Amino acid sequence: MTAPLPRRATDPSAQDSQSAIAVARGTTPQLDYLKVREYWKRARPSMLGPYMMDGFGFPAGAGRFRFRGELHAVAETIRDLRPDISVLDLGCGVGVWTEYFAQRFAKVVAVEASSTLCEVLRERCSRYPNVTTYHGNVLSFEPKGKFGPSGGFGPTGGFGSTGGFTPTGGFGLVFLGGLLMYLEDRDVATLLRELIPYLEPGALVLCRESTIRRGINTLQGDYQVVYRSVETYRSLLGDAGFDVVSVRANTAYINVQMACELIKKWKALVPDRFRCLPVVGRLAYWGLRLGYPWNTRLIPWLLARMGREFPLLTNHFFVLRPRLSRRAGTSDRRDTSLHGLRIEEERFANAR
């Protein structure tokens, strides 16, 4: 299937599944990581930017609404975690979640590849001494202990780091907020598997990913992303050594996404100079806000009965725990790896 080319790389109306080019459905996703990085380097470092909500005429409050809605789900998931744990926030964007975790937990390590977003992240988190930020690719990130006292990235990385952090005891929570959709399957699996040694017993991994109803949909072009179904994620995360403890629809996202998709249709129908986006965007946003949360179920249900999928894109939270190896007579994989980590740390402590 071939759809028209997006006008500009940063034109948000060119994003997401319905305006994709060269869509590869149901195949193993392949991404051009240079383009992914380039896209996020040019992203507007506002709350709307990393939430992909720029350019629709929505008020700034739309980002806060979505964040508040998500807070609900995240707060419930993490409510039993001890406050003295360390949190790893991978692909943290401008650090809205990093800040939230910093206010609740003992330490937060935040990794972000976009220099533009990283600048805002550092500014936001400068008043939190318990936050360490790293600018670089999560695929080459290694928590300290393996690559020496000042290192944050492995030999394939080449990114600088901003501080030294020792995850004594490992991380109690890892947050991946909209990161896995920018990674190919094998990299999702590698990243997750490599995280396991750094998780403390009882740790949670919380992912929030944009999803589609069936299969896989890879967007090529200037905005590169992989949309996977919940089922696809389940099997990918399972193969990476994790049990999917729960999956929950991100209703705040779905509400705003419905407004985004309406505006995209509006943009497709109405010539540029008649669009009045600041007015139409606000009308669409507030109209749907008034019906929240019941409309996030009712509207898709009604349209499904008419044979229409709306919104095309949804979003889910996945809560994961590392699966234990059940081979008789051996300790579980996670404990073995943590032991390995402790040895690494001792080695570096002795070398200093």
Site residues (CB under 6 A) for ligand SAM, limited to 8-37: 36
Is the CB of 177 or the CB of 241 nearer to ligand SAM?
177
Two tokens, residue 3: 């759809």
**Judged by CB under 6 A, does residue 145 bind ligand SAM?**
no
| Count of C-beta atoms within a 10 Å radius of residue 107 | 22
Q: What is the DSSP letter of 144?
A: T
Is the CB of 23 or the CB of 113 nearer to ligand SAM?
113
Helix axes 33-41, 115-125, angle to 10 degrees: 50
**Judged by CB under 6 A, does residue 111 bind ligand SAM?**
yes
Write a three-state SS string for 82-131. Answer: CCCCEEEEECCCCCHHHHHHHCCCCEEEEEECCHHHHHHHHHHHCCCCCE
Q: What is the DSSP letter of 168?
A: T
Q: Which stretch binds ligand SAM (CB under 6 A): 105-113, 211-219, 260-268, 323-331?
A: 105-113
Is the CB of 93 or the CB of 281 nearer to ligand SAM?
93
The single residue among 69, 151, 167, 177 that binds ligand SAM, judged by CB under 6 A, is 177
**Judged by CB under 6 A, does residue 132 bind ligand SAM?**
no
Question: For the chain, what's the residue count?
Answer: 352
> φ and ψ at 306, to 5 degrees?
-95, 10
The single residue among 19, 114, 255, 295 that binds ligand SAM, judged by CB under 6 A, is 114
Within its chain, how far is the Cα of 216 from the centroid? 17
Is the CB of 97 or the CB of 165 nearer to ligand SAM?
97
Q: Which stretch binds ligand SAM (CB under 6 A): 134-142, 216-224, 288-296, 331-339?
A: 134-142
Is the CB of 138 or the CB of 277 nearer to ligand SAM?
138
**Environment class of residue 204 by beta-carbon count within 10 Å: exposed (0-12), middle (13-18) or buried (19+)?**
buried
The residues that touch ligand SAM, with contacts defined as CB under 6 A, are 36, 40, 50, 91-93, 96-97, 111-114, 117, 137-139, 177-179, 182
